[in-house]
């Protein structure tokens, strides 16, 4: 059994570190390029990067960038691939990996030499047409004549696997690592590879031949830790935790506050002149690693707290540029209960945190405002913004006409349907009530068992999972319609009991072929309904797995009830004890003016205007140019095949000459096939590019507006609290397994809800 570090001790240590130390922010690396680097690698004392269509080299932080290779000089690498190239290397040898084609080039001044063709044929990569499978490679590491990288099947999304390739032959071998969620891959001491195992928040060193692994850190001090890296000179392990760079060197330390977060991080480039270099979506950064004396915190800093990593690097960098006079720090207390933290600080009049980020999913906002845990937000601009938003948002964040919270992000919990699959199953329209939905579910199990391999009802697996999850959906619909703050909602009613009894009829399908489908298998198949947390219409274009879906209102409990869709909201409140309330409002006003378009439209759909993709025309022109070049090359190669074929047919020479010409024909035909395949791939890419004309299209705006008015923010909190605190999953499971009668189940549910209600008064 693993020896776990004491989580209370770790948490206390982290709190002391956060209160007693604050490091300088990482410094950006000036690459002297117009575009941001897309890949970077340190070899020796040189930092290499790909930017502006070039491979560049920087000898030191003070030196300018020198061009090593101009990618435009090598037409075999299409410009559309430049953003997907990776730099890697071993010793002083620099390599360029073209993962989509499995090609590895040796990089030398003004030269790219094909080193090997990686055997990726067995990894399931296919063309990039919608819905087809292909493999994504990342974090390449070279060691002892082999290239190692993580790979993910981007259709099944079943986690990364580790593969090794011979640099001489390109031969592929899968490395058994036994990890569910490896995050990043970097060299470690003794010829091992280092990764974060997100499944249990540990740092693991792997033997690249798959012969074993060592847990370097058995438990990291918080959740959402990512991307470990080893610093040989310090014999220290660094890892990202939110906006903080943490160090382990016999104990956990906060190394520095970062201007980027773990979500913006791309890869570690390596150790450059004693400092770690991180590649992020914001550019390259040098991270200070030689901090031996803690720096006293800046008393003038505006501090924002959240229990999850919600702010982005763009938010921090933009605000700091706009308000250089206001130091800004973000603390992520991943192990803390937000309500408990808020209550403790409010009751003790603690002013160390100025802005809290909370979620309506877990906390009753009106209770916070009533108890004085939030300061009124006195800003005409923010007040005006609120009046343009959905009225439900104002109901959640205002009290007696005053603004006490400001929205950060809205998370609708929509349903979607595939109209084509619905029609194929014999149904003309989606269900309007939960009873109609349960009837459809029963009909599906009764009449569509033969379609098991092609499509599922809602992507869930076993019969028991269907019963329990659907029962909780019934509970949701009931709460949205009938819960109020005046009295506890009662479930022991004929209407609720009748639907649970009907759902119990599914038990007769236990043990059938449909029941044997596990959740992973069911989730990978097309589904008629997506019945919870489906992607919003505004974001669907980026996820091919959701193409063809249409957003609908979740079924109501009774015919005639108003449509209701669950939703939660992350929002800001200002600490009433804060000494920086003006600075806090300055941050909220900045944030309100720099929302991502999708977030802005979710909050205020009536203000929506379509947003064009600025890069659309450029993408189309580049792809069309490549298609034209390929078509011309194909015709020329086709003509060459014809000429060689005629020569063979009329040839009178020796057998040796005939064999040589036959080999030339075979090579020409192979090249012709390659051009044909590339043309097909280019056509598929053009088809995909057509779908990116808009970032937000008029059609998806109209689709969202049709369901947005039914969003429920207040009662969504009630539904979550009932299910989470009362463990309704266990309660419903016991009922469907025969461990309790229907009367016992509903009576116990009502008793628990009543107790929870009165405890909260």
CB 48 within 8 A of CB 69: no
DSSP per-residue string spanning 350-367: --S-SEEEEETTTS-HHH
CB 81 within 8 A of CB 74: no
What one-character DSSP code corresponds to residue 415?
E
User: Dihedral of CA 513/518/524/530: which sign?
Assistant: positive
pLDDT digits (tens, 9 = 90+) for 58-115: 999 888 899 999 999 998 898 888 988 999 998 889 999 998 788 999 999 999 999 9
Residue 637, classed as helix, strand or coil, is helix
User: Dihedral of CA 362/365/366/369: which sign?
Assistant: positive
Tell me the sheet residues that pair with 47.
Answer: 42, 58
- pLDDT-derived band of residue 219, with 50, 70 and 90 as boundaries? confident
Q: Determine the average pLDDT of the residues in 314-343.
A: 83
Residue 8 has pLDDT above 60, yes or no: no
Which residue has better confidence, 694 or 750? 750
Strand 565-574 with 711-712, pairing: parallel
Q: Determine the average pLDDT of the residues in 184-189.
A: 90
Q: Determine the average pLDDT of the residues in 661-690.
A: 80
Q: Which two tokens stand for residue 377?
A: 């937000």
Nearest Cα to Cα of residue 692 among 281, 164, 130: 130
pLDDT at 133: 39
Residue 631's CB is within 10 A of a number of other CB atoms, namely: 13
Residue 86, classed as helix, strand or coil, is strand
pLDDT at 153: 57
Alpha carbons within 13 angstroms on the beta-carbon side of residue 279 total 22
Stated pTM of the model: 0.68
Q: State how far the Cα of 723 lies from the Cα of 21, in Å rounded to an integer.
A: 40
Q: State how far the Cα of 213 lies from the Cα of 198, in Å rounded to an integer.
A: 15
Residue 539's CB is within 10 A of a number of other CB atoms, namely: 13
Radius of gyration of the chain (CA): 29
pLDDT at 125: 42
Q: State how far the Cα of 311 lies from the Cα of 320, in Å rounded to an integer.
A: 14
Buried b (16+ CB within 10 A) or exposed e, 105-139: bbbeeeebeebbebbbeebebeeeeeeeebbebeb
Q: State how far the Cα of 522 lies from the Cα of 527, in Å rounded to an integer.
A: 8
What one-character DSSP code corresponds to residue 548?
T
- Residue 712 exposed, middle or buried by CB count within 10 Å (0-12, 13-18, 19+): buried
Nearest Cα to Cα of residue 330 among 405, 241, 449: 241
CB 125 within 8 A of CB 134: yes
Buried b (16+ CB within 10 A) or exposed e, 503-533: beebeebeeeebbebeeeebbbeebbbbbbe
Q: Which two tokens stand for residue 136?
A: 């994504």
Q: What percentage of residues in the chain have a pLDDT greater than 90? A: 34
Residue 729 vs residues 309, 471, 706, 745, 747: alpha-carbon distances, Å: 28, 9, 32, 12, 16
Segment of 1-5, 181-185, 520-524 carrying the highest mean pLDDT: 181-185
Q: Which two tokens stand for residue 115?
A: 């080193």
Strand 111-117 with 135-143, pairing: unpaired
Residue 123 has pLDDT above 70, yes or no: no
Buried b (16+ CB within 10 A) or exposed e, 186-208: bbbeeebbbbbbbeebbbbbbeb
606: left (phi over 0), alpha (psi -120 to 50) or beta: alpha
Q: Which helix (H) or strand (E) holds 738?
A: none
Dihedrals phi, psi of 369, to nearest 5 degrees:
-65, -40
CB 661 within 8 A of CB 649: no
pLDDT at 264: 83
pLDDT at 404: 97
Strand 550-552 with 213-217, pairing: unpaired
């Amino acid at each position: 059994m693993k020896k776990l570090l004491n989580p209370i001790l770790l948490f206390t240590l982290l709190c002391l570190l956060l209160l007693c130390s604050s490091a300088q922010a990482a410094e950006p690396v000036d690459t002297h390029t117009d575009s941001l680097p897309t890949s970077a690698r340190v070899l020796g004392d040189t930092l290499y990067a790909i930017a502006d269509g070039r491979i560049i080299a920087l000898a030191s932080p003070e030196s300018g960038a020198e061009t090593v290779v101009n990618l435009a000089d090598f037409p075999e690498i299409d410009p559309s691939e430049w953003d997907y190239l990776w730099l890697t290397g071993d010793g002083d040898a620099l390599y360029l990996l073209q993962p989509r084609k499995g090609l590895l080039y040796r990089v030398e001044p003004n030269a790219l030499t094909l080193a090997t063709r990686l055997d990726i044929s067995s990894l399931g990569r296919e063309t990039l047409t919608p819905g087809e499978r292909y493999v994504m490679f990342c974090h390449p590491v070279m060691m002892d004549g082999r290239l190692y990288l993580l790979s993910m099947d981007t259709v099944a999304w079943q986690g990364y696997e580790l593969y090794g390739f011979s640099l001489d032959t390109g031969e592929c071998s899968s490395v058994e690592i036994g990890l569910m969620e490896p995050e990043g891959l970097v060299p470690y001491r003794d010829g091992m590879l280092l990764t974060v195992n997100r499944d249990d928040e540990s740092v693991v060193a792997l033997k690249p031949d798959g012969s074993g692994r060592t847990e370097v850190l058995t438990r990291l001090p918080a959740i959402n830790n990512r991307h470990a890296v080893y610093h040989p000179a310090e014999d220290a392990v660094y890892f990202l935790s939110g906006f903080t760079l943490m160090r382990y060197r016999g104990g956990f330390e906060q190394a520095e506050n970062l201007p980027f977060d773990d979500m913006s991080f791309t890869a570690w480039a390596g150790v450059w002149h004693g400092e770690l270099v991180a590649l992020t979506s914001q550019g390259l950064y040098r991270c200070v690693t030689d901090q031996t004396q803690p720096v006293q915190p800046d008393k003038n800093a505006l501090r924002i707290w959240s229990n999850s990593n919600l702010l982005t690097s763009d938010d921090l960098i933009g605000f700091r540029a706009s308000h250089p006079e206001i130091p800004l720090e973000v603390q992520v207390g991943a192990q803390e209960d937000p309500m408990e933290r808020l209550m403790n600080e409010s009751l003790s009049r603690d002013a160390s945190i100025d802005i809290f980020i909370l979620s309506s999913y877990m906390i009753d906002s009106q209770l916070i405002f009533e108890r004085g845990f939030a300061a009124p937000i006195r800003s005409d601009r923010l007040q005006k913004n609120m009046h343009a938003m959905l009225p439900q948002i104002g109901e959640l964040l205002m009290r007696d006409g005053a603004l006490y919270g400001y929205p950060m992000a809205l998370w609708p919990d929509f349903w979607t349907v595939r109209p084509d699959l619905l029609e194929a199953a014999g149904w003309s329209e989606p269900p309007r009530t939960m009873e109609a939905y349960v009837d459809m579910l029963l009909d599906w199990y009764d009449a569509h068992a033969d379609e098991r391999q092609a499509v599922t009802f809602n992507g869930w697996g076993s019969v028991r999972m269907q019963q329990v999850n659907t029962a909780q959906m019934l509970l949701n619909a009931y709460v949205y319609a009938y819960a109020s703050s005046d009295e506890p909602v009662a479930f022991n009613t004929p209407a609720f009991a009748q639907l649970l009894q009907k759902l119990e009829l599914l038990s007769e399908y236990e043990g059938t072929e449909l029941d044997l489908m596990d959740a992973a298998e069911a989730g990978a198949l097309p589904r008629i309904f997506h019945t919870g947390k489906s992607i919003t219409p505004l974001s669907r274009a980026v996820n091919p797995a959701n193409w063809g879906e249409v957003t609908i209102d979740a079924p109501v409990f009774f015919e005639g009830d108003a449509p209701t869709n669950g939703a939660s909201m992350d929002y800001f409140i200002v600490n009433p004890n804060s000494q920086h309330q003006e600075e806090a409002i300055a941050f909220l006003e900045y944030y309100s003016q720099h929302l991502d378009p999708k977030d802005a439209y979710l909050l205020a759909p009536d203000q929506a205007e379509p947003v064009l993709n600025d890069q659309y025309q450029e993408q189309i022109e580049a792809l069309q140019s490549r298609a034209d070049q390929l078509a011309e090359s194909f015709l020329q190669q086709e003509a060459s095949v014809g000429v060689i074929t005629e020569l063979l047919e009329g040839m009178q020479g020796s057998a040796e000459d005939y064999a040589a010409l036959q080999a030339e024909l075979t090579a020409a035909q192979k090249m012709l096939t390659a051009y044909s395949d590339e043309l097909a791939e280019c056509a598929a890419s053009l088809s995909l590019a057509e779908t990116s004309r808009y970032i937000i299209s008029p059609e998806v705006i109209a689709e969202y507006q049709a369901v947005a008015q039914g969003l429920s923010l207040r009662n969504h909190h009630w539904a979550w609290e009932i299910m989470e605190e009362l463990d309704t999953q266990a309660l419903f499971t016991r009922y469907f397994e025969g461990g309790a009668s229907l009367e016992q189940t509903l009576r116990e549910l009502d008793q628990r809800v009543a107790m929870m209600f009165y405890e909260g008064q």
